[in-house]
């Protein structure tokens, strides 16, 4: 006899299958709240890329329609896209034996302006799925405009934004950095440097989308 729990799961599954796709609103939901055609038309990218000499795994390129979805999610608080974005990360073949997930930090000013850290939200879903903790040993100071700075000045400016939080006895050997969009990879490199300083021996990086430099 089916338990009430499994009946509930079947009912929510059924309900989901008759809900409209969050992107085209025409077809019904199939994968992570979007229909099969919309899912297939995302700008998929299967190979790992390098930025600043660091390997980055990403399910997609930062192209239409994903760029619009991520912008609406981040800047217009369209949090209904979170299951889709987390679903994208869940398609990645992640390295084995990750001990903790480190979401890309944002400054307090950005957090106040946006209301949430998008990388933390998607990292939390992934952490639940992998059954590993979220680790936030690095904070980010005010991010200012970098216009007019040379490449080297920009790199040093970004590195200075990342500060280790007060000493924490907890150390993880293999961590996964989670970010939303990676462009030049300079924030990833700055966070990566901090994690090396903290004694991490293996640092993997996953993001939703990689943009062309």
**The one segment of 19-27, 49-57, 65-73, 109-117 that binds Zn ion by CB under 5 A:** 19-27
For strands 49-51 and 54-56, give the pairing.
Answer: antiparallel
Q: How many CA atoms lie within 13 A of 152 on its CB side?
A: 0
Question: Which of 7, 15, 24, 170 lies at the binding interface for Zn ion (CB under 5 A)?
Answer: 24
Give the shortest CB-40-to-Zn ion separation in angstroms: 10
Query: Rounded CA gap, 92 and 74, in Å?
Result: 22
Q: What's the N-to-C CA distance of the chain in angstroms?
A: 57
Give the shortest CB-186-to-Zn ion separation in angstroms: 35
Give the shortest CB-83-to-Zn ion separation in angstroms: 14
Provide the 10 A C-beta neighbour count for residue 124: 17
What angle (nearest 5°) sits at the alpha carbon of residue 209, between those of residues 123 and 109?
60
CA 166 to chain centre: 25
Site for Zn ion in 32-71 (CB under 5 A): 35, 38
**8 Å CB contact between 102 and 135:** yes
**Toward Zn ion, which CB reaches closer, 32 or 140?**
32
**The one segment of 30-38, 59-67, 92-100, 166-174 that binds Zn ion by CB under 5 A:** 30-38
**The one segment of 23-31, 90-98, 117-125, 180-188 that binds Zn ion by CB under 5 A:** 23-31
Give the shortest CB-28-to-Zn ion separation in angstroms: 9
**The one segment of 6-14, 22-30, 94-102, 144-152 that binds Zn ion by CB under 5 A:** 22-30
Assess 23 for contact with Zn ion (CB under 5 A): yes
For residue 195, give both structure tokens: 């994690």
Give the shortest CB-57-to-Zn ion separation in angstroms: 26
Q: What is the DSSP letter of 79?
A: G
**8 Å CB contact between 157 and 189:** no
Query: Rounded CA gap, 97 and 164, in Å?
Result: 24
Give the shortest CB-25-to-Zn ion separation in angstroms: 7
Assess 123 for contact with Zn ion (CB under 5 A): no
For Zn ion, the binding residues (CB under 5 A) are 21, 23-24, 27, 35, 38
């Amino acid at each position: 006899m089916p338990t009430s729990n499994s009946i509930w799961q079947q009912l929510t599954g059924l309900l989901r299958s008759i809900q409209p796709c969050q992107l085209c609103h025409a077809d019904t939901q199939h994968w992570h709240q979007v229909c099969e055609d919309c899912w297939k038309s995302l700008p998929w990218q299967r190979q790992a890329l390098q930025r600043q000499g660091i390997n980055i795994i990403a399910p997609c390129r930062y192209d239409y329609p994903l760029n619009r979805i991520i912008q609406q999610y981040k800047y217009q608080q369209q949090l209904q896209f979170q299951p889709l974005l987390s679903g994208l990360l869940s398609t990645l073949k992640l390295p084995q034996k990750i001990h903790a997930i480190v979401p890309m930090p944002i400054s307090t000013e950005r957090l106040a302006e946006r209301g949430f850290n998008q990388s933390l939200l998607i990292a939390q879903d992934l952490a639940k799925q992998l059954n590993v903790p979220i680790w936030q040993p690095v904070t980010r100071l005010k991010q200012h405009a970098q216009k007019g700075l040379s490449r080297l000045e920009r790199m040093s400016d970004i590195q200075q934004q990342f500060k280790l939080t007060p000493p924490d006895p907890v150390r993880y050997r293999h961590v996964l950095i989670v970010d939303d969009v990676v462009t030049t990879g300079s924030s990833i490199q700055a966070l990566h440097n901090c994690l090396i300083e903290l004694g991490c021996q293996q640092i993997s990086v996953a993001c939703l989308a990689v943009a062309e430099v």
